[in-house]
Amino acid sequence: MTFKEVFLAALRGGRGYDALLELARRQQTQEQSPGETYRTLQELWTEFGFDTRDEDSALQKHLEAVMERVWYETPA
């Protein structure tokens, strides 16, 4: 399974912020650069339509929180 598939399954399965962040961090150390990991998360964000609507759901909040953390941890 790809990182995107694993992350999506965890997100849809109700995994919380800490577990999702751990998946992203593990991915960065094993296969992808932080920038690639962020782009994958951004793809999911766009596919869910969060770029065009504001949904007050746990799914959106967890995804955005992980994206933010990955973004700020990415070296310049």
The answer to pTM > 0.85 is yes
Q: pLDDT of 32-53, one tens digit each?
A: 888 899 999 999 999 989 888 8
Q: Which of 8, 46, 13 is nearest to 27 (CA)?
A: 8
Token duo for residue 40: 């994958």
Token duo for residue 55: 């949904």
DSSP letter (8 states) at residue 52: T
Q: Which of 56, 72, 60, 52 is nearest to 20 (CA)?
A: 60
Output 55 or 73, whichever has higher pLDDT: 73
pLDDT band of residue 74 (cuts 50, 70, 90) is confident
Average pLDDT taken over every residue of the chain: 89
